[in-house]
Structure 1
Amino acid sequence: MKKTRPAEEQSPKEELSRSARKDLTRAGLTQAALQLMGEGRSFTSLGIREIAREAGMVPNAFYRHFRNTDELGLALVEEVGITLRRLLREARQGGVAPGDIVRRSVQVYHQYVLQNRLLFLFISSERSGGSRILRLAIRNDVTHFTNEMAQDFRHLGLYKDLSTRSLQMICGLIVTTMLAVAPEILDLPPNQPLLEAEMTENFVQQLQVVLLGATLWKEKVRAID
């Protein structure tokens, strides 16, 4: 009879295999929830058994990864936040000239939204409705996003005369604009390059107006003083 080795004696390869299987199961559950939402369901209407069935698993498999559906939703919010912040930080710091940062960031954001349609349908839906836990999580992630952008602007030497509070306000307007445009990106008909280019240019101009306002805001503060 073959004996099972204690956990501490098992090889890294075996450990990696278990870890990979666990990640795949977790990803299968989150993807199942997103697929159900893609069919027109609201996230708050989804049940654990339904999500598990869509993923081809038993309900107990769900509880090995999440305590409830809100916890699964939090994992989705975290996935969007971490990945998008990394991509946009790279767009701002990847040797791009300051004048091209806006356009490069818009291109990166547009592509990410298109590649993660179901995730952004979820974010757009839960940002203004559904679970209070998820609304707060999205709001906290927006704050994190805003503060990180403000820090990057400082690092790049942009808007040096703005106070931290004012710079965070400007970055907050940028993030809010980005979130607002996501449904427009998702609703754009496929294979319409002219419409896509027009929408992208409009998005760029919106952000440029916000940043132009940042320079005027600096002058206004000085006039009040």
Structure 2
Amino acid sequence: MAGLVVPPPGPEAGARGGTRLERKGRTRRAILDAALMLSEDSGFGALSLRQVAKEVGIVPTAFYRHFDSLEALGLALVEESFESLRAMLRDIRRGDPSYADVVDLSIDTLVEHVHRQRTHFLFIARERAAGPPAVREEVRRDIELCEHDLATDLAALPGTDAWSAADLRILSNLIVTAMVATAEAILNATDPAEEQRVVGTARTQLRMVLIGALNWRSGS
């Protein structure tokens, strides 16, 4: 076989290359992205497994190597939509900021995250009201986790040491609810000026909530 010349790999080889685990990861990512795109028009509940498989370029049976069902795919989309946002907001509060800084940094982080993961936030905004029951429940659970994280961190801030656990959860619910509404308003903004108004209103709302909260005493 002396003198045999092996041609360089073509572009398709690069796309198919890598370890089996890497290829599986790319296919899983493609399935998630396809589901996000296809659900924009008709909603996740109207998706079929065959639609998703066709968009990705795999046979329907190959879908089950990555997800047990379409419902499991929807739950995975909800989880990844919230996971990085929760981590970023936790990092802000761990920096021992002032109350004003908590508001400003949290709003800035939310705006950045909405722009970076716009399709994910569109998915959450749509499916938390009209999605399949399991997906709606997962959205509700993840919002509750955000509230729990925030209540835990608020308990470490000055002025909240005399608050009851129930009052801390009420405050965290107010803040998270305002942030969810702000994210949806940003998605619906028709131009940068409208988005700036939305963000400015959100900052004022959260500051008003915190000013009132600092003067609150549990049992009042």
Instruction: After TM superposition, list the pairs within 5 Å mapping 1:13-24 onto structure 2.
Output: 17-24=19-26
- Taking only aligned residues, the RMSD between alpha carbons, in angstroms, comes to 1.8
- The secondary structure found in structure 2 opposite 1:218 is coil
Question: How many Å separate the matches in 1 of 2:182 and 2:152?
Answer: 23
**Equivalent residue number for residue 53 of structure 1:** 54
Query: What residue in structure 2 maps to residue 213 of structure 1?
Result: 212
TM-score by length of 1: 0.83
TM (norm. structure 2) is 0.85
Partner residue, 2:173: 172
Question: What is the CA distance between 1:95 and its match in structure 2?
Answer: 5.1
Counterpart in the other structure of 1:28 = 30
1:85-100 equivalences under 5 Å are: 85-94=86-95, 96-100=97-101
8 Å CA contact 2:78, 2:138 repeated in 1: yes
What is the number of residues matched between the two proteins? 203
1:99 positional shift: 2.2
C-alpha separation between the residues in 2 aligned to 1:50 and 1:157? 53
Contact 1:150 1:167 in 2 (8 A): yes
1:158–1:37 CA distance, 2 compared to 1 (3 A): farther
Q: In structure 2, what is the Cα distance between the partners aligned to 1:121 and 1:187?
A: 10
Q: Is the 8 A contact 2:182 2:199 kept in 1?
A: no
Find the counterpart in structure 2 of residue 80 from structure 1.
81
1:149 aligned onto 2:169: no
Q: Could you say which residue in structure 1 is the equivalent of 2:108?
A: 107
Which structure 2 segments of 5+ residues have no match? 1-17
Aligned counterparts of 2:56 and 2:79: Cα–Cα separation in 1? 21
Q: Distance in 1 between matches of 2:159 and 2:83?
A: 24
CA distance in 1 between partners of 2:183 and 2:148 (Å): 21
Between the aligned partners of 1:134 and 1:178, the Cα distance in structure 2 is 20
Shift of 1:163: 0.7
What's the offset of the Cα at 1:41?
1.7
Aligned to 1:186: 187
Residue 199 of structure 2 aligns with an amino acid whose one-letter code is T
Q: 1:50 to 1:158 in 2, by over 3 A?
A: farther
Is 2:39–2:46's contact at 8 Å kept on the other side of the alignment?
no
1:55-70 residue pairs with structure 2 within 5 A? 55-70=56-71
Indicate conservation of the 8 Å contact 2:99/2:210, yes or no: no
Equivalent pairs: percent with the same residue? 36
Match of 2:163 in 1: 162
Inter-partner Cα distance in structure 2 for 1:216 and 1:98:
13
Cα deviation code 1:127-168 (max 9, x no counterpart) = 122211111111111111111111111233352221111101
Q: Structure 1 stretches of 5 or more lacking a match?
A: 1-15
How far 1:214 sits from its partner (Å)? Answer: 2.1
Q: Alpha carbons of 1:95 and 1:211: their partners in 2 closer, same or farther (altered >3 Å)?
A: closer
CA contact (8 A) 1:77 1:138 kept: yes
Structure 1 segments of 4+ aligned residues over 4 angstroms from their partners = none
